Amino acid sequence: MVYGLLFLLLVSCQQQTNPTVEIRGIYGNPKPFWDKGIKLPELGVNSIFVHSGSIDSSMMERAEKEGIAVYAEFATLNGKNYVDKHPEAWPINELGEKAPAASWFMGVCPTEPGFREYRFDLLRTLLSKYKVKGIWMDYVHWHAQFEEPEPILPETCFCDHCLKTFSEAMDLDLPTGETLEKARWILDNQDPAWRQWRSRVIYDWTIEIRKIINGFDPDILLGVYHCPWNDTEFDSARYRILGLDYDLLKQSVDVFSPMVYHERMGRNPDWVAENIQWFNNKLGIKGNEYPKVWPIVQAYNNPGVVSAKDFEKVMFGGLSAGSTGIMMFTTYAVAEDEEKTQVMKKIYMDLINGHIDQ
């Protein structure tokens, strides 16, 4: 762990004015640790981020006994299974055809009224059953796949509802004809307006979910797991294709969790620190103020292998430049690897004891 010691000194020297790290998290069901007879505080963990479908009363009760905060991941714009039963919600590409699945991900039309109400009802049910500390929106983008070295970036959605909503929002008269002709006209003549409208659709999802949360408890945080690309990567695809406008989202989101999965995205471990530093600078993150940044880094070995040394490096990278929290994907990947468990425990215990100056 020589690298960790050197990096620790560097972090301590460069970040003495940074705020204290408040979230020492894991992503995924904590059962792999509990099955080993390990209490999460013994590892320095104080927060669980877990898929909403995995939450049950026993998890909530044990987490409360251990003093662990529970944050629910909410799969927002994942259309898998739903679009098969509700073809009206299938994203339509610029050819007027159903967009195929992007690798393992199947998106959805984010403006389709039936799907919106379906997702909002699921959120209301979740909040009525469990007192979680936060809702973390996941799959917050138009249909695409960014978690690959070569991302899949289709143009969507040109369904009748999207076309109508876009034309009304932008006060535009679309040409008559087939979807293919309308899509071509938009991309050739109204591309800036189209990109702006799409980003506002994503922003509207955060606004509506915030309203639902406030109806239960305004103190519940709204977080978002999101693509970590900068403004220019893949021809500005984060904004152009995914519809993520940070200047909009920072008005509604309490916490950003960049998904800096270095191995999955074909990057080296040093990229994590570089990306988080860029992101925090872009948003003007000040640590103690909202929005905050709690990145999620990769521990999982598929694709590729994340060594314990690289895991240590990306953990420190995620904690750079004013981040006040960290978590890793996944709990199981750490629990099954004793070296990674010890890396996480060492970092978290040092944070508690003030040996890492953030």
CA distance 153 to 308: 32
Give the model's pLDDT for residue 330. 97
Nearest 5°: the CA angle 125, 325, 2 is 140
Place of tokens 């702006």: 196
Cβ-based neighbours of 294, under 8 Å, separated by 6 or more: 23, 25, 223, 255, 256, 257, 323, 324, 325, 326, 327
How far, CA to CA in Å, does 35 sit from each of 30, 32, 71, 75, 336? 9, 5, 21, 27, 11
Q: Cβ distance 272 to 228 under 8 Å?
A: no
Q: For the segment 264-285, what is each residue's pLDDT rounded down to a tens digit?
A: 999 999 999 999 999 999 999 8
CA-wise closest residue to 111 among 238, 227, 222, 197:
197
Residue 325's beta-bridge partner residues?
23
Q: Cβ distance 161 to 154 under 8 Å?
A: no
CA distance 206 to 200: 10
Give the model's pLDDT for residue 21. 94
DSSP 205: H
Fold of 70-253: TIM Barrel (3.20.20)
Q: Please state whether the predicted TM-score (pTM) of the whole model is above 0.85.
A: yes
**Can you list the residues of the chain whose pLDDT is less than 70?**
1-19, 357-358
Give the model's pLDDT for residue 19. 61
The domain limits of the chain are 70-253
Give the model's pLDDT for residue 287. 74
